[in-house]
Amino acid sequence: MRPVPVQGDAVMLQQVLINLLRNALDALRLDRPPEPVIDIELVVDAGRAELRVGDNGPGITPQTEARLFVPFSSTKPNGMGLGLSICRSLIEMHQGRLWFTRRDGGGCCFHFTLPAVPTVAAATPPTLERTTP
């Protein structure tokens, strides 16, 4: 995977990724599929970087979906219900978007986009030409 520069606070963006990975791990611990999978994918399109964190856990029910990003709403026995709400706020602070999709066969995938920093093509070194008088 090649690096894709985005502009933002590295610590905030790291916290978003850590939260999404922890949620995926929690889902797999709850469901215990025979072959647990967490996958991370990066897609760059139209000047935006999209990071996807997916798992093959139990997925998200329609009842849970309705309050997924609502603060203080959690399906975890000891959860505070702030993780995804904070993640969404952090991504939106960076002019991005956070959402989820259901996966065929079970599980879900969380996606977030951020504006990619345009890469500057390597400058051609100047050439010196000698002119004769």
pLDDT score, position 129:
57
Torsion, CA 57, CA 75, CA 89, CA 3, rounded to 10: -20
Q: What is the mean pLDDT of residues 42-69?
A: 92
**pLDDT at residue 102 is higher than 60:** yes
Q: Confidence band (pLDDT; 50, 70, 90) for 122?
A: very low
Q: What is the mean pLDDT of residues 114-119?
A: 86
For the record, the structure tokens of 108 come out as: 């879900």
Higher pLDDT, 117 or 114: 114
Q: What is the mean pLDDT of residues 112-120?
A: 86
Chain mean pLDDT for the chain: 87
Domain ranges, ordered by start, for the chain: 10-115
**pLDDT at residue 94 is higher than 60:** yes
**pLDDT at residue 77 is higher than 90:** no
- Residues 6+ positions from 49 with CB-CB distance below 8 Å: 4, 6, 42, 43, 113, 114, 115, 116
The CATH superfamily assigned to 10-115 is: Histidine kinase-like ATPase, C-terminal domain (3.30.565.10)
